[in-house]
Amino acid sequence: MRALALHALDWSGWAAYIPILIILGITSHVAGWPGIGPDGKHLQITSDVRILLMVIGRLTSLSMFILAWRLIERKGLRDMLFGHSLKLWRPLIRGLSVGGGGIALIVLGMMGSGSLHLTWQTGSIPSHSVLTLVGLLISSALLSPLAEEIESRGYLFQNLARGWGIPVATIITALVFAARHLQNPNASLLGIINIALISIALTLGMLRQRSLWYAIGWHIAWNFPILFVFGVPNSGYSLQVFGVAGASIFSPTLSGVTWLTGGDFGPEGSIITTAIILLQILAVWMIPRSAS
């Protein structure tokens, strides 16, 4: 129950409220950033401010769960399969390969069905948006995978597995992981189901490889190309929302029914993703557990 309560605190946003308030208070007072909005009372939340809030939120979550693991659970990082060893590059590379290969197959499937058309990006982002782009890259391709995996398959799953066993812990972790994406923009039923299936695939992969780095690598190789290579939304968040639409290698055009294209939620809302993730679950299930 401690693990679920900590997740609820993080999910509510209150965990990041104090550091956000302190940092924005300092920057607004010292540097005049962010500025005051048209109403003359509230801070103006621009794209770069929104990215800063995301980065602060991810860093807060990451710190909170690691500190709780060490101080409340009194365990080392190796106990959440987040150890430090020269051998860790192996599960990390495997995760990167499976995650990147999965999204590549999904995109190819969408292109083959005619629901996605990619052209070389001809646009560019304005110079004043470079900071926003860097922040988005750090947040989506590094901090989010680290924070979400430590929160879910690290802290939550390991605690639940000790008390209720691996099968129950796997299902509950998947439900919590999917539920946390309900607050994302343009969330769809199929998208949430696919997020739960992704959680199961990552948990099985972590257990087979005996390393949380597998799930982190998978997550990185999934998030980065969705936004910055193919330019499609990632769990409801798009480059356009942050004013950096020209930052991807390709420019996408979607056509057809939402259950095939994923709509504004992105490829995670596509039935093609359902098929690919189910295949990954089956493949990972059949792989013998790693001894490393």
Instruction: Supply the pLDDT for residue 41.
Output: 67
H helical segments located in 119-270: 130-138, 144-149, 157-164, 166-179, 189-209, 212-224, 258-261
Q: Report the residue count for the chain.
A: 292
Cis bond before residue 91 (omega within 30° of 0): no
Q: Which residue has the higher pLDDT, 245 or 223?
A: 223
Exposed, middle or buried: residue 126 (CB in 10 Å: 0-12, 13-18, 19+)?
Answer: exposed
Amino acid letter for position 229: V
The pLDDT of residue 251: 94
User: d(Cα 165, Cα 213) in Å, to the nearest integer?
Assistant: 22
Question: Where are the alpha helices (H) located in 13-150, listed in sequence order?
Answer: 14-31, 47-71, 89-112, 130-138, 144-149
pLDDT value at position 291? Answer: 46
Measured distance CA(220)–CA(209) in Å, rounded:
17
Q: Could you read off the pLDDT of 98-156 as tens digits, one per residue?
A: 999 999 999 999 999 999 999 999 877 877 788 889 999 999 999 999 999 999 999 99
Please check the confidence at residue 53 and state whether its pLDDT lies above 90.
no
Per-residue buried b or exposed e for 253-280, using 16+ beta carbons within 10 Å of the residue's own CB: ebeeebbbbbbbbbbbbbbbbbebbeeb
pLDDT at residue number 292: 45
Amino acid symbol at 134: V
Write down the pLDDT at residue 197.
Answer: 98
Per-residue model confidence as pLDDT tens digits over 229-271: 999 999 999 998 888 988 999 999 999 999 999 999 999 999 9
| 2-35 pLDDT, tens digit each | 777 887 778 777 788 888 888 888 888 787 778 7
Confidence at 206, pLDDT banded by 50, 70, 90: very high
289 or 57, higher pLDDT: 57
**Segment (H or E) for 4:** helix 2-12
Scan for tokens 């103006």, then name that residue.
44
Q: From CA 150, how far away is CA 145, in angstroms rounded? A: 8
- Residue identified by tokens 């597998």 is 214
Per the CB < 8 A criterion, the answer to whether 115 and 260 are in contact is yes
Token pair 């356009």 in the structure block, residue: 240
Q: What is the pLDDT of residue 289?
A: 65
Residue 38 pLDDT exceeds 70: yes
Quote the CA–CA distance of 249 and 247 in Å, as a whole number: 7
Residue 236: what residue type? Answer: G
The answer to pTM > 0.85 is yes
Per domain, the residue ranges of the chain are: 83-286
Q: Please measure the distance between the N-terminal and C-terminal CA atoms of the chain and give it in whole angstroms.
A: 31
